[in-house]
Structures are given as C-alpha cells and as structure tokens.
Amino acid sequence: MTDRTGTGRVGFPAPSTDRGSSARGLDLEGQRRRGHGSFAHRDVQARDAARTAAPDIAVADLLGLLAFGELTAFERLATDARMAPTLTDKIALAGIAAAEFAHFEAVRAHLVRAGVDPVKAMEPFVSPLTNFHNLTAPADWLESLVKVYVGDNIAADFYREIAAVLAPDVRALVLDVLADTGHAAFAVERVRAAIEADPTVAGRLALWARRLMGEALTEAQRVAVDRSALTGLLDGMGDLTALAELFNRITLAHTARMEALGLST
C-alpha cells in the first residue's frame, strides 16, 4: 500500500479550526458511485482507488462501518433480550447492548471531532448490515447467544487485521471499542451449559453458526466491492486474492472456535 502519510499509518488529516472544512473535503457519494460496474472492472477500480483515495475517506468508511455495526448490534441485542429465559439473563444481555451503544457514541464522537458527518459515514453500510441482521434474526435465546459469540469474534478478527495499518488515535479507538467486555464469555458459558444439558441442540446450533458466517461473508464481499477505499486500507487488498485470503483466515478462526464449543458441522 502506498504510504500516504510517511509513517506507514493512515488516519484523518489534522482537523482545521473550521470544524466543517474537513467534512466538505470528503466525497463519499462520488466514492460510492465510482464503485459500480462489473466485478473484474471493480477489481481494477479498487486498486486504483486504493492508490489514489485520500486516507480520510477510507478511515471514514471504516469508522462508519464500525459505528453502524455497533448501533445495529445494540438494537438487535436489546430486541433479543426479550427472549431471555430469566430476569438475570435479560439484564445481562441488555447490559451488553448498552455497552454497544456506548461504543457507538465513542466512534461517533471521533468522527465528529475529525469533521466527518457520522450519518453520511454510516449510510453506505445501512443496507448490508440491515440485510445481515434481517437474514439472521435468532429464533430463540440460544440462537441469539450464538450470534453474540460469532458476531463479536468475527468483527474482532476483521478489525484486528485492519488496526495494524491505522494511525495511533484511530487504532486506539478501534481496539478500545472491540475490547472484550465479557460478552463472548457470557454467551459461550450459557451455550456450553445448554449443550451439556441437552446435547441434541448442538446440531441445530452448529448449522446456525455456519449460516451466520455464510451471511456475514456474503455481506462483507458486497461491502468490499462497493467500498474500494475501505478495502484499499489493507495491504494489497485491491487484489481480490488477498481479500479472499483475509476472509479465509477469518473463516478458519471461526471454525476453530465453533469446534472448541462443540459446534462443528
């Protein structure tokens, strides 16, 4: 990847004293429009965009994705809390949801400080993330716990791959937002206990976890193609082979986690 800052890291340019000027410099709509065309054509475009796009567009994309990811996670977890079998479980899941909203607020504040309109930064990701959640609405409490565990981990894997190339302040924000606050542990303990109590649920949950991963990859592919500046953040990501390798690493890590949980398919 072209080292655009001379430090090997990408981030927002220092905001000017006029809060609005940096936001006006972004051309998110134009960036999105340029993403159209055939897949092969997009590949070329992605490479070009990775070389020429201003780093702040890529970082606005990354943080817009992260912000909307946290916002929808909040909504869905709070909705799933209604399926909790006990008040204690309901409180625990609601607490996880509230933590996701705090993360959303942190990312939004960062975007505003950088002079980026958070709503504009999130908009490109509304459709893929909403699709993902609509296609993976849990049917019961256990499915919702597996989704917390799977979702938390693949998001963490994805952002950890990207964090290495970010400017220190953005990297700190991303790692802070993704810091495990015990959510995965909460989910995994309860799933493990449910499988021990009734081993027949394992098969259903294994298929569910596999479907979650499949739908996540489908939407991720779409985002990768539509948001070339974002994919350009990763070294050589204009190359679709490298992108496929990233998705493959995330899938392998997911499969290993599912096996450890007794959910292999």
The answer to whether residue 32 forms part of the interface with a second copy (CB under 8 A) is no
Give least dist CB 210 to a second copy, A.
26
Give least dist CB 98 to a second copy, A.
4
The answer to whether residue 122 forms part of the interface with a second copy (CB under 8 A) is yes
Amino acid type, 59: V
Number of amino acids touching a second copy (CB under 8 A): 24
H helix and E strand count, the chain: 13, 0
The answer to whether residue 81 forms part of the interface with a second copy (CB under 8 A) is yes
- The one segment of 83-91, 142-150, 203-211, 230-238 that binds a second copy by CB under 8 A: 83-91
Residue 108, class by beta-carbon neighbours within 10 Å (0-12 exposed, 13-18 middle, 19+ buried)? Answer: buried
Out of 79, 131, 251, 265, the residue judged to bind a second copy by CB under 8 A: 79
Q: Which residue, 231, 247, 244, is CA-closest to 47?
A: 231
The H-assigned helical ranges of 53-117 are 55-80, 87-113
Which residue, 85 or 168, is less far from a second copy as judged by CB?
85
Out of 88, 179, 197, 200, the residue judged to bind a second copy by CB under 8 A: 88
Q: How far apart are CA 187 and CA 1, in angstroms?
A: 38
* 131 to 208, 244, 263: CA distances (angstroms): 16, 21, 25
The answer to whether residue 74 forms part of the interface with a second copy (CB under 8 A) is yes
CA angle 234, 236, 240 (to 5 degrees): 100
Which residue, 106 or 253, is less far from a second copy as judged by CB?
106
The answer to whether residue 95 forms part of the interface with a second copy (CB under 8 A) is yes
* 49 to 41, 43, 235: CA distances (angstroms): 12, 10, 13
- Residues near a second copy (CB under 8 A) are 71, 74-75, 78-79, 81-82, 87-88, 90-91, 94-95, 97-98, 101-102, 104-105, 108, 119, 122-123, 126
